[in-house]
């Protein structure tokens, strides 16, 4: 089922949904930044959406849990919830393992 991104240099478009600066979202953001720098340096854009400021986006993007990381590009759309502390699962969830090899 896993799709290999078409090319290793495809742009990565990531969006992290948080609801206020809670410890969980701070942790998640730190974890995510670390991971992206390690695996996707220079090829990703990361957008942080605070739902407290933009509540209408929660419905549009089907967000239930906080924090939620959405991989918008490359397709397919992926959602990872939690503070991203389990690094291995994040790598698998984002298919980062596939571009590594």
Partner 1 sequence: MARVGLSKIRSGISGLDEITGGGLPHGRSTLICGGAGSGKTMFAITFLVEGALTYGEPGVFMCFEETEEELARNVGSLGYDLKELIADNKLAIDYVHIERGEIEETGEYDLDGLFVRLAHAIKSVGAKRVVLDTLEALFAGLSDSGLLRAELRRLFRWLKEQGVTAIITAEQGEGTLTRHGLEEYVSDCVIALDHRVVEQVATRRLRVVKYRGTVHGTNEYPFLIDAQGITVLPVTSVQLTHEVSSERITAGIAGLDAMLGGQGFWRGSSILVSGMAGTGKTTVAAHFVDAACRRGERAVYFAFEESPHQIVRNMRSVGVDLQQWVDAGLLRFSASRPTLWGLETHLARMHKDVDDFAPAVVVVDPIYNLSAVGSTNEVRSMLLRLIDFLKSRQVTAMLTAYDSGSSQDPWNAEVSSLMDAWVQVQMLVSSGERNRGLYVLKARGIAHSHQIREFILSADGIQLCDVYLGQGNVLTGSARVAQEAREAEIEAERQQVIAVKQREMERKRHQIEAQIAALQGDLESQIAETERFIARQRAVTDAAVMAHQKIAISRGEDE
Comparing CA positions, the residue from 66, 101, 59 lying closest to residue 84 is 66
Q: Considering the complex, what minimum distance in angstroms separates the CB of residue 59 from partner 1?
A: 5
With beta carbons less than 8 A apart as the criterion, state whether 9 and 43 touch: yes
What is the spatial distance between Cα 24 and Cα 12, in angstroms, rounded to a whole number?
Answer: 23
Q: Considering the complex, what minimum distance in angstroms separates the CB of residue 45 from partner 1?
A: 20
Pairing of strands 44-50, 78-81: unpaired
**Which one of 30, 34, 62, 75 is in contact with partner 1 (CB under 8 A)?**
62
Residue 2 in contact with partner 1, rule: CB under 8 A:
no
Residue 39 in contact with partner 1, rule: CB under 8 A:
no
In degrees, to the nearest 5, what angle opens at C-alpha 33 toward C-alphas 62 and 52?
Answer: 40
Residue 80 in contact with partner 1, rule: CB under 8 A:
yes
Residues that bind partner 1 (CB under 8 A): 17, 19-20, 22, 24, 27-28, 51-52, 55-56, 58-59, 62-68, 77-86, 89-90, 92-93
């Amino acid at each position: 089922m896993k799709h290999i991104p078409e090319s290793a240099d495809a742009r990565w478009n990531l969006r992290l949904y948080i609801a206020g600066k809670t410890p969980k979202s701070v942790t998640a953001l730190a974890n995510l930044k670390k991971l992206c720098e390690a695996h996707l340096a220079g090829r990703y854009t990361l957008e942080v959406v605070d739902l407290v400021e933009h509540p209408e986006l929660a419905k549009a993007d089907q967000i239930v849990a906080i924090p939620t990381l959405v991989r918008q590009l490359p397709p397919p759309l992926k959602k990872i919830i939690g503070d991203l502390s389990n690094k291995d699962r994040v790598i698998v969830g984002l298919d980062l393992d596939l571009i590594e090899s």
